[in-house]
Amino acid sequence: MMTFGTGSNRSSRRRQQQQQRAGAEAASGEQRQAGAEAEASRGRAIRGRGERRQAGAEAARGSS
Q: Strand, helix or coil at 63?
A: coil
> Is residue 46 in a domain?
yes
> Is residue 55 in a domain?
yes
> Is residue 9 in a domain?
no
The CA angle 10-12-17, to the nearest 5 degrees, is 95
Whether 38 shows a pLDDT value over 70: the answer reads yes
pLDDT at 57: 78
> Is residue 17 in a domain?
no
Write out pLDDT tens, residues 2-32: 555 556 666 777 777 777 777 777 666 666 6
> Is residue 28 in a domain?
yes
> Is residue 11 in a domain?
no
Contact (CB, 8 A) for 50 and 41:
no
Whether 39 shows a pLDDT value over 60: the answer reads yes
Mean pLDDT of the residues in the chain: 70
Counted domains in the chain: 1
